[in-house]
Amino acid sequence: MYLQKLHTTMSIKDDQGKPFEAVTVFAEAIRYLKGHLMNKLCDRFAGIEVVDIDWVLTLPAIWNESAKQFMVLAAEKVAFF
């Protein structure tokens, strides 16, 4: 298996071979995790809202700049307010 460089215009294929914009797939994964966390927090703490949280996305330091920018774009697609 070979590794590709992440870039903002790349696409990935689903199990049926249909291509999707990779940054959108990553954004939806982030959106799911954010929603799951918010559901759990709302179950335990009444009145908590998205704006009450300082969100941080950590990335491996060894990633190159294009991979980091890819993740920034994916995170920006998920409204954190």
Mean pLDDT, rounded, for 4-29? 89
Number of H-type helices and E-type strands within the chain: 2, 2
Confidence (pLDDT) at 4: 64
- At residue 24, the pLDDT reads 93
Q: What is the mean pLDDT of residues 17-46?
A: 94
Looking up tokens 């940054």 gives: 23
pTM for the predicted model, two decimal places: 0.82
Query: What tokens does 56 get?
Result: 């941080």
Report yes or no on 15 lying in a domain. yes
pLDDT of residue 80: 66
Q: Residue 49 and residue 39: Cα distance in Å, rounded?
A: 10
Range of the domain at 38: 11-76
Number of domains comprising the chain: 1
Q: Residue 58 falls within a domain, yes or no?
A: yes
The answer as to whether 3 is a domain residue is: no
